[in-house]
Amino acid sequence: MDMCKVNQPLYDKLQILESKGKEMDTMGRLKAMEGPLLFWYREHARSLPWREEPLPYRVWISEIMLQQTRVEAVKPYFERFMKSLPDIKALAEVTEDRLLKLWEGLGYYSRAKNLKKAAEILVSRYDGELPASYEELKTLPGIGSYTAGAIASIAFGIPVPAVDGNVLRVISRVTESHEDILKQSVKREMEERLKTVMPKEAASSYNQGLIEVGALVCVPNGAPLCGQCPLASLCLARIKGLTDVIPVRTPKKARRIEDKTVLVLCHEGRVAIRKRDDKGLLPSLYELPNLEGHLNEEEILFSLDVDKADVFPLPSSKHVFSHVEWHMAGFCVELQGKTAGEFLWVTAKEIRQTYSLPGAFKAYTKLIR
């Protein structure tokens, strides 16, 4: 367990130096964050299920779930996952369909697949335990420098940084960095600097404190809440009025738009689903049959190679992935006579309980009863 020891004298010293107009250098400024940050974290840390009992497996699963997903959305998934797969051995042995069902709705399904691959390696090479080594953690599928740093510091107390988007934003503001935070080289440099200044005996609280300041105070969307920030006296972006321009990010490319026609294809009380390709977007997941473009009734029947069916329009829907947007038109197609295509015909109950269909199809799967 690490201790939230407050290094108040350093903080006071900084105030004196700054008031005399002698601006502290970047490393001095970073070093001076420790006291106020640890003090603030001790007072403001949110109570989260994985924080209550920071065992390596729990920290690992929570960190992977929290990538690209909000804390509140993760909580119920985390509890359900821990109940179903309480340890690394259970994760290594779970079937892919069961795993994806547990992950259904969280998105970015490659995260779940990498968890299983890593668990298999841990069982075969590490006796079913996560290694207490930052370097070894980084060799596991799905674990990059941030996640390795988070597991190493939070679960094992190893003094290594955990630099995610929150930390990049906070540090670039505090130090008035005009570098592009999406560049790997900028992230690596920040990791190096933080490794030098972070307290060896309080790595967990220090890393979590920085992440928490980024999540709750120096927020990702909207104006930062500088009036509540423990780093306000140190923060050059606040002092110089630069919070609108820092952090610097290169603009993202516009997403590609894909038009699709999604079919709720019904026959004798069952609905058609199929497995997606094992490469590309949403690999190996089940999906509702869908066709490229926005098709009309006649084109749908032609594509399905059936001539007798009742076709009803369903509401249109949109789903946004990181690089692509699906703009979907929907139809319910009640087949009469022969069935169409190579599909798996399942009941509504099986869709709910057994097969995982990505959230992209939610507007249509929720209509299946």
Which is closer to ligand SF4, CB of 130 or CB of 217?
217
Catalytic residue among 18, 23, 53, 63: 63
- Give yes or no: 268 in active site: no
Q: Report how many helices (DSSP H) and strands (DSSP E) the chain contains, helices first.
A: 19, 7
Q: CB 239 → ligand SF4: shortest distance, Å? A: 8
Tell whether residue 231 is a contact of ligand SF4 (CB under 6 A): yes
User: Binding residue for ligand SF4 (CB under 6 A) from 30, 61, 203, 229?
Assistant: 229
Q: By the 8 A CB rule, do 51 and 45 touch?
A: yes
Part of the chain binding ligand SF4 (CB under 6 A), chosen from 54-62, 235-243, 343-351, 361-369: 235-243
Cα-based distances in Å from 331 to 129, 267, 311, 312, 363: 48, 14, 7, 6, 11
Which is closer to ligand SF4, CB of 54 or CB of 161?
161
User: Binding residue for ligand SF4 (CB under 6 A) from 100, 122, 186, 218?
Assistant: 218
DSSP 161-196: ----HHHHHHHHHHTT--SBTTSHHHHHHHHHHHHH
User: Nearest Cα to 214, choosing from 249, 164, 177?
Assistant: 164
Q: CB 248 → ligand SF4: shortest distance, Å? A: 14
Tell whether residue 235 is a contact of ligand SF4 (CB under 6 A): yes
Q: Distance (Å, rounded) from C-alpha 100 to C-alpha 285?
A: 8
User: Binding residue for ligand SF4 (CB under 6 A) from 121, 197, 232, 363?
Assistant: 232
Hey, how many other C-beta atoms are within 10 angstroms of the C-beta on 27?
12
* Torsions phi, psi for 24 (to 5 deg): -75, 150
Which is closer to ligand SF4, CB of 37 or CB of 99?
37
Which is closer to ligand SF4, CB of 224 or CB of 358?
224
Tell whether residue 217 is a contact of ligand SF4 (CB under 6 A): yes
Tell whether residue 243 is a contact of ligand SF4 (CB under 6 A): yes
- CA 197, distance to chain mean position in Å, is 27
Q: By the 8 A CB rule, do 74 and 62 touch?
A: yes
Q: Distance (Å, rounded) from C-alpha 152 to C-alpha 327?
A: 41
Which is closer to ligand SF4, CB of 91 or CB of 217?
217
Residues 6+ positions from 295 with CB-CB distance below 8 Å: 261, 303, 329
Q: CB 174 → ligand SF4: shortest distance, Å? A: 5
Residues that bind ligand SF4 (rule: CB under 6 A) add up to a total of 15
Within 148-177, the residues that bind ligand SF4 by CB under 6 A are: 170, 173-174
Cα-based distances in Å from 328 to 75, 273, 300, 311: 30, 17, 14, 16
Part of the chain binding ligand SF4 (CB under 6 A), chosen from 44-52, 64-72, 233-241, 339-347: 233-241
Which is closer to ligand SF4, CB of 27 or CB of 225?
225
Q: Please give the positions annotated as active site.
A: 63
Q: Which residues bind ligand SF4 (CB under 6 A)?
A: 170, 173-174, 217-218, 224-226, 229, 231-232, 235, 237-238, 243
